[in-house]
Structure 1
């Protein structure tokens, strides 16, 4: 009973944190979002080792992908795929990762894998794996948060090669305090926190799905970055290469990603004109395959709807921007109505993901 009680308390604490993040005022929005369109299929991933895809980056030749804490040793690889989503190369890790959640490809072609998942907030360190162009063995870099454990599923790499980790529910940005050194634990420093506009996009996880950050990507050229939730993508303009300033001070454009099964990955197409996503399919009906989806980026993407403006799936007539955020009374009503559902949902999500996440690993 003691173990079950601890797990319930952890789920409750995380649920309240997510609820607080969802209800916190975000950047002002210009217009509500019309009914979103589903993504256009690009290709199916048919390799049986790739069913828990948590990170993806587009390359000139196709894609790079990584699984989320795969149980099967054969699935713990950095996978390179061609444009038809066929695996052409798989690079193993030299030691077992704990929970790989995202990846990014730097301007020089270096692949960075964020081994930063921590559902139970028990890790003393997290890690980044760095695979240099042409190498067949990724290098491990350990990192430690300054304020205790966090669960993080999003990784960005700035133009000058500095990794930035985005935590899942609190959306805090962390970056290495010093240069990374193999064999050493480098401290992380908090460099900012992201506020996202409210959303009403339909997704399997409801309010929680709209509040937690599950992936990130940088546009070719570095002029934009995107964070995704289970429901939406939020695109920020980057000036002067300052990714942190863009995320902490900028107002994002919203790109709805409606009803993806468990969307944790996002990347830009190589021409920068579209976002590409892919979902996990583990536990789905037999025969379900991960599918890369394309979402075109129009010249002017509508901003997110004001909090509580519309039910999911509704089409809105244009309205004028509001001067202020949600009233405290409205927030209280939303909180009272949704808190129980959030707690139950998060408990289920934590339990489901715990069965897939690794508890220990020699490398991290």
Structure 2
């Protein structure tokens, strides 16, 4: 897989990034990781050595530990919500009432409610995806099905707006889309999603196992405990945005991120803020092979610089209805920022999507052939 990705990346990187042949390349956009920057590795916190957790893709921090989920798995005891202590040892697990398809991210609300994004779709064939909601003290999560308005999408990032609205960020190469429920979620019903924007990933040179492919796909996200910042990650970098007026969508679609390099994580698909909001926490999937090292929870400093709040709340901040779903103050579906996109992402999008589908299929097939025992 990695060899194939590298070959595709090399071909894409050979393309000119100027407006036409012979023109100089455009200046790096704000938030880009400067060329030549030496990225610092994260500080180890603890090691996840439980054999049930080889493919952690969602992470949240609590006052006394962490909450994690694996992504799709054919092994029953891996399909759980895992609560870890501060040493990354499994303290307890919660079962799903029915089998999830592909749990890719989770986020924790201020009241302790856990939301799990069953939103992975490598082959883009799912008619619905799902959000699982685990209330504090509940024995099992509640299932909410949702559907995209414009066809299937693969996604690995789930966020919560200030009013509790779930926000799905897709894994579309280069220009991820943001979707929210169009009305209050109800059990036993499929709720249509509504697209509320998209944004362009800044260019990066951060080293990672998947080369350019790893810099063009959003694999996780989190909102700071005080709601003042939101972070999205790729396989290479963390992109942190300032949030004003509780509007997470506007922060991402209109803001300029600060980039925190996450160099050479084996397959980084999870990110969270520490409970005090001062650091970022990441956890990678375990590498292929029985001899691969156990995943290590890493800590990175944020690049946060406080900014003053505006004097008035923007009129486009969505109001909420029961259930926390934004329905008023709609944003335009597209803007000049969205249409412009990222050049590299636009050129490489189809190739990267094909590589993603083929690569992950091969990787998971190998794991199934191994018998799913580690």
TM over 0.5: yes
- Structure 2 vs 1, CA of residues 244 and 227 (structure 1 numbering), >3 Å: closer, same or farther? same
**1:248-296 deviation digits (Å, cap 9, x = unpaired):** 0000000000000000000001111110000001524425211100001
Unpaired runs of 5+ residues, structure 2, are: 19-25, 307-336, 338-342, 369-374
Q: CA deviation at 1:50?
A: 0.6
- Matches of 1:31 and 1:110, distance apart in 2: 35
Task: Provide the residue aligned with 2:34 in structure 1.
Answer: 32
Once the two structures are superposed, the pairs formed by residues 93-132 of structure 1 within 5 Å of their partners are 93-132=96-135
Identify which of 269, 283, 289 aligns with 1:278.
283
SS at match of 1:48: coil
**For the Cα contact (< 8 Å) 2:267–2:287, is it kept in 1?**
no
Matched with 1:294 is 299
Tell me the distance in 2 between the aligned counterparts of 1:121 and 1:339: 15
Matched residue SS, 2:241: strand
The residue that corresponds to 1:157 in the other structure is 160
* Superimposed CA distance per residue, residues 212-262 of structure 1 (whole angstroms, 9 cap, x where no aligned partner): 000000001000000000000000000000001000000000000000000
Pairing 1:140–2:152 present: no
1:235/1:73 CA distance change after superposition, 3 Å? same
Taking the aligned partners of 1:138 and 1:339, their CA distance within structure 2 comes to 35
Map of 2:227 onto structure 1:
222
**Residue of structure 1 equivalent to 2:187:** 182
Scaled by the length of structure 1, the TM-score of the pair is 0.78
Distance in 1 between residues matched to 2:251 and 2:103, nearest whole Å: 26
Q: Is the 8 A contact 1:80 1:88 kept in 2?
A: yes
Aligned partners of 1:209 and 1:230 also within 8 Å: yes
Aligned length: 312
**Structure with bigger RCO (C-alpha 8 Å, 6+ apart):** 1
Q: Map 1:200-239 onto structure 2 (within 5 A).
A: 200-239=205-244
**Equivalent residues in 2 for 1:1-364 (5 A)?**
27-29=29-31, 32=34, 34-169=37-172, 170-281=175-286, 283-286=288-291, 288-299=293-304, 345-346=355-356, 348-353=358-363, 355=365
Q: Rate the CA distance shift 1:187–1:47 in 2: closer, same or farther, 3 A.
A: same
- For the residue of structure 1 that corresponds to 2:212, the secondary structure is helix
CA-CA distance at 1:102 after TM superposition = 0.2
**For residues 120-157 of structure 1, what are the alpha-carbon distances to aligned partners after superposition, in whole Å with 9 as ceiling and x for unaligned?**
11000000000000001100000010011000000001
- Structure 1, unpaired ranges of 5+: 1-10, 302-324, 326-330, 359-364
Query: Are the equivalent residues in 1 in contact too, given 2:33–2:204 (CA < 8 A)?
Result: no
- Which residue of structure 2 aligns with residue 7 of structure 1? none
Per the alignment, do residues 50 and 343 of structure 1 end up closer, same or farther by CA in structure 2, a change over 3 Å counting? closer
Q: 1:213 to 1:29 in 2, by over 3 A?
A: closer
The answer as to whether partners of 2:219 and 2:234 remain within 8 angstroms in 1 is yes
TM-score, length of structure 2 as denominator length: 0.76
Cα distance change on mapping 1:341 and 1:158 into 2, 3 Å: closer
How many angstroms apart in 1 are the aligned matches of 2:221 and 2:52?
A: 23
Superposition RMSD on alpha carbons, in Å?
3.2
Q: Cα offset for 1:185?
A: 0.2
Report the counterpart of residue 371 of structure 2 in structure 1.
none
Q: Which runs of 4+ in 1 moved over 6 A?
A: 23-26, 338-341
Q: Is the 8 A contact 1:131 1:139 kept in 2?
A: yes
Q: Do the aligned residues in 2 keep the contact of 1:230 with 1:260 (CA within 8 Å)? A: yes
Q: Write the distance in 1 (CA, Å) between the matches of 2:49 and 2:158.
A: 26
Please identify, of 153-162 and 231-240, the stretch whose mean Cα deviation from structure 2 is larger: 153-162
Instruction: Say if 1:347 and 1:191 are closer, same or farther in 2 by CA, change over 3 A.
Output: closer
Q: Distance in 1 between matches of 2:97 and 2:363?
A: 24
Secondary structure at the residue paired with 2:215? Answer: helix
Q: Aligned to 2:67, what secondary structure does the other structure show? A: strand
Counterpart-to-counterpart distance in 1, 2:367 and 2:150: 22
Is the contact between residue 129 and residue 139 of structure 1 (CA under 8 Å) also seen in structure 2? yes
